[in-house]
Structure 1
Amino acid sequence: MSCGKPHETDCAEVLAEVWLFLDHECDDARRKLLERHLDECTPCLAEYGLDEKLKKLLATKCSGEHAPDGLKNRLRQSIRDIVLETAEVTVESGPEGTVVEVRTSRLEQSF
């Protein structure tokens, strides 16, 4: 996805990482970069808002029971892997920081 405006970070890359952003699972530098993009890109901000509302709804409806930490970690990793695979994104962490690569970006919507 692209809103057609030039950004430091591509829209598809930001949307692929929105759940990492929501879960505070990216480092501070990456978080600031994603936050800066969301501040200047209305379509991505709208998508982020939908994901944020969904996360809050799930937390509200599922807050009575607590899953074991091991299960939560496995679920998070599975979701992360599926999102990254579907978006054709690779994330590599190393001593110099996190590198995110988007091979292709495509968003299909039905109306």
Structure 2
Amino acid sequence: MLKGFKDFLMRGNVVDLAVAVVIGTAFTSVINAFVTVIMDLIGKLGGQPDFSKYTPGGVAIGAFITALISFLIVAAAVYFMVVVPMNAVAARRKRGVEPEPEAPSEEVILLTEIRDALRVR
């Protein structure tokens, strides 16, 4: 029973997921600080970085606007700090590596054998 549990834990995807959670948790504080800086800049331009008290026509949509702006800032930060560099690294790795040719399917192998057998006759 313990061997099965050890095998489960040592699978690549479980370990990768654990590492991703730890890195994501650490990265959250960086992103939150970045959002705070951007929201302060928006506040300097617009006068108020927190839109929660914004109620046009009596409808309280300010909290939604604040959350939407925060989401867009987080999405942009993750894209430019993680996705773009990882795509650049993947492209750099791919440039030097030529893809392996695909192995023929079983049907093609069988048809080749039949063709070769018919030639012999």
**TM-score when normalising by structure 2:** 0.28
Higher gyration radius (CA) = 2
Indicate the structure whose relative CO is greater, using CA pairs within 8 Å and at least 6 residues apart.
Answer: 1
**TM-score when normalising by structure 1:** 0.30
